[in-house]
Amino acid sequence: MGNCWSSSCKRPVFVGRDQREFWFNRWKTGDTPWQTQGIHRLLEQHQELVLAGKQNARVFIPLCGNAHELLWFYRHAHNVIGVEYIEKSASEFFTESGLPFEETTCHVLKCKVFRTLDHRLQIFVCSIFEFNRNCAGTMDIVWDRGALVAVNDDERPRYASIMKSLLSPGFSYALCTVVYNDPSFKGFPRSVPDDEVMKLFGDFMKLTKVTQSEEEKRRHISSGIVETLWHGTG
């Protein structure tokens, strides 16, 4: 994770237009502390595990924003697919990266898609709950950092079901979670206990806890915070 995810965002329970406006305003005001200055340290430290020896793989990054990992996987000669709800953050990625791009429309969802001219990097502007394997095929590698921890608690089973439906045989799934004990904190990231991870994904993949470490104290969360990198294979 980056620095503290702002407590100014109370846990949203709205859907549709209200939800879109909530996230749009956060991007518009620059209230995006989950964005890192480079690729996340856990990817940097465990890139061989995440890449799993795959070449020309299809890499999926849910709720991607303008994450540096999009460019990192692209430069490692993979095909990268991101899903982002807010158009502004998707377009900013291409502006900031300097990659020539074009705009097109998803033949399935009719949503906007930004993509490089070689079509190896695409960002679909839609809800993760609308995205499906007919949009861009199945995925060989998943980098899930900031996605599962952002969805509403009651949406986690639906989210996990969608993610599992997108996976190719022999996939490599990297999942970053955080755990803390502060019921009063209603912002992001949300705490996802280990048993919840197993409940959501353990029926579909072999899960390994790669590393676990305590994060720096955050002023809006009263308890300690533990960050975990999980790796799933199937």
Tokens, residue 215 = 């994060």
| Average predicted confidence (pLDDT) for the chain | 87
- When pLDDT is averaged across residues 82-93 and rounded to a whole number, the result is 94
Q: What is the C-alpha to C-alpha distance for residues 30 and 197, in angstroms, rounded to an integer?
A: 30
Strands (E), 85-187: 101-105, 112-116, 121-125, 139-145, 167-179
pLDDT per position as a tens digit, 113-158:
999 999 999 999 999 999 999 999 999 999 999 999 999 999 999 9
- Asked if 11 and 155 count as a contact pair (C-beta separation under 8 A), the reply is no
Q: Which range has the worst mean pLDDT, 19-33, 43-57, 84-98, 130-144?
A: 19-33
- The yes or no reply on domain 48-172+189-197 and CATH 3.40.50.150 is yes
- pLDDT the model gives residue 215: 76
- 116: left (phi > 0), else alpha (psi -120 to 50), else beta? beta
Tokens, residue 44 = 């940097």
Coil, strand or helix: which one is 228? strand
